[in-house]
Structure 1
């Protein structure tokens, strides 16, 4: 079934993806694992786009399929049932000047499946909006997403604004985008960058585990409301 799910996403067969995803969840597949399969299919779509076999409309379709999977009743129920067992809070958004949200939404879905409380500011988010969001929601982690090359400057300005507002200390700032490099991350002033949503989620989980001195997130989620 796993390969069928991946192939259905690659083929952009929304009806088949939804049918298989529902069956997988009913049969006990973990939401995070299911999202990893969907992501693998979307990675294949991306490669087909790069080889000019698929077009921008196909990329958009893949993103829509992913969002439909997130809306499945059993997927939504999983997130709702774990509301009182959140391991941490993350504030995410696509930075100023960029309207792309597929990568952000994949990361968001995986973080929710990993029992994080995710606050999504949307796309084209200004540095001021990030500052206000951090002040309002007090997240453990701040995720800046961007696809276009010029977003490196937007990310740098956002990190600088957070530092100026005194909101940088004791928080992880993670960057997401296919164009990012180690050098770009250092230039921006962030803690970590990733070109792969799965690796980003894994890093955030380990960081939270260390921050709150948990034995292991996998041993059971911890309610952190008392630590805020």
Structure 2
């Protein structure tokens, strides 16, 4: 088993204490930091799939995300040195009327680890707050809106409509959350939809690359 496979397996298991050392060992053996990062993102994709299939639950998913965050900490100085570190700024928040943040926090960790600078607005975020964040932060390439309740679907729709009609440009809108579907995302004019944290990171990179 290669060191990168070791990293991947231990991120999947949520081994927060072991992962940083394994990442360092993989680097010492000459592995590319981006390859190590991709392996960790891939591990979180598997974790996301298991979570969606109810094979694991929130605590295991959080442990895996924490293990990955620890691994990313080791990589950050090297990724910054590659010049391609930041893909831009991502503004994230749970829409107005919704106080759920576990899913959003996971997505924020995943998108950050994919190479974005994160601005987390927290929960119960109005459309205006999202707009202000786009205006006041540099190089915003992505706005990620989360809605975990069926009752906040209209707020999600309103937020996307406000962002799209704001006259601001240069960013894509990514939506997600338990009741959200790809069809609903398309109907409300979002640029992308992600069913879980792992795919959110992949989708975020795709959207920005296509911009």
Give the shorter-chain TM-score range. 0.7 to 0.9
Corresponding position: 1:201 with 2:202 = no
Corresponding position: 1:105 with 2:109 = yes
1:169-188 paired onto structure 2 within 5 Å: 169-177=169-177, 180-188=180-188
CA pair 129-29 structure 1, distance change in 2 beyond 3 A: farther
CA RMSD in angstroms, aligned pairs only:
2.9
Report what 1:225 is aligned to. Answer: none
- Could you state the TM-score of these two structures normalised by the residue count of structure 1? 0.71
The DSSP-based 3-state class of the residue aligned with 2:14 is: coil
Report what 1:92 is aligned to. Answer: 91
Equivalent-residue separation in structure 1 for 2:180 and 2:31 (angstroms):
32
Structure 1 position 24, deviation (Å): 2.0
Equivalent-residue separation in structure 1 for 2:59 and 2:31 (angstroms):
30
Identify the structure with bigger relative contact order (alpha carbons < 8 Å, sequence gap 6+): 2
Corresponding position: 1:153 with 2:154 = yes
Equivalent-residue separation in structure 1 for 2:40 and 2:160 (angstroms):
31
Structure 1 position 193, deviation (Å): 2.5
CA pair 49-161 structure 1, distance change in 2 beyond 3 A: closer
Report what 2:36 is aligned to. Answer: 34
Equivalent-residue separation in structure 2 for 1:172 and 1:49 (angstroms):
26
Structure 1 position 166, deviation (Å): 2.6
CA pair 29-157 structure 1, distance change in 2 beyond 3 A: farther
Q: Runs of 5+ in structure 1 lacking a partner? A: 113-117, 208-228
Report what 1:143 is aligned to. Answer: 143
Q: Runs of 5+ in structure 2 lacking a partner? A: none
Structure 1 position 132, deviation (Å): 0.8
Report what 1:215 is aligned to. Answer: none
The DSSP-based 3-state class of the residue aligned with 2:63 is: helix
- Could you state the TM-score of these two structures normalised by the residue count of structure 2? 0.75
